[in-house]
Amino acid sequence: AAGARLCFRPPARGFQCAARGCRAHRSAGGALVANVLRNGSVLLQWGLRHWGPPPPRPSASLRGFALNCSWDGTYTRFPCDSVELGAACRDYLLAEAHGSVRYRLCLQPRYAPPRPAPPAQCVEFRVEPAAMRDIVVAMTAVGGSICVMLVFICLLVAYITENLMSPRGGRGAGAARRA
């Protein structure tokens, strides 16, 4: 019974995704919502009423939830570790999600036998890159441009030094003619 109440954090009851700093993505059945926050974290929220008819004694048969995820990298799909959550949990915070990566999170309630587990509810979303990352990319681009300009300036100085300051037609050539 104590394990049924185990959650990683106090639930964020009544949390509403504000359009300015958050984007909500719902599963097809409506039971699972991924609130993608501007700071790169994702708050998952769910309710049992969207998973079909409740059992006669819901608290006695619900054992918890299984949360599975995967994300698309540049070349392949990576599975995330499964997370087992207690029966009292109704949300989960994914603190640091990777920007510009497509996530697929699936949540499935676990019931005591003989009741079979209903199908998982899945939600897909992409986390926007953090603002700081955009700044770093912009600074890298500007820094790269400055480096390219410095290389051109150095090559120009070397060319000018070699061609205009060289003694080809100067004293060295005149001394050779006099001898």
pLDDT tens readout for residues 82-132: 788 888 888 888 887 777 788 899 999 888 887 777 888 999 988 876 655
Q: What's residue 2's pLDDT? A: 41
Per-residue pLDDT at 102:
85
**Domain spans of the chain?**
22-128, 129-166
Listed ranges 24-28, 38-42, 143-147, 159-163; the one with the highest mean pLDDT: 24-28
CA distances to 148, 156, 167, 171 from 161, rounded to whole Å, are 20, 8, 11, 17
Confidence (pLDDT) at 134: 61
Q: What's the topology of domain 22-128?
A: Immunoglobulin-like (2.60.40)
**Residue 47, pLDDT above cutoff 60:** yes
pTM (predicted TM-score):
0.62
pLDDT value at residue 1? 42
Mean per-residue pLDDT over the chain, rounded: 76
- How far apart CA 50 and CA 54 sit, in angstroms, is 10
Buried residues in 92-129 as b, exposed as e (16+ CB within 10 A): bebeebeeeeebbbbbbbebeeeeeebebbbbebbbee
- Rg of the Cα atoms in the chain: 31
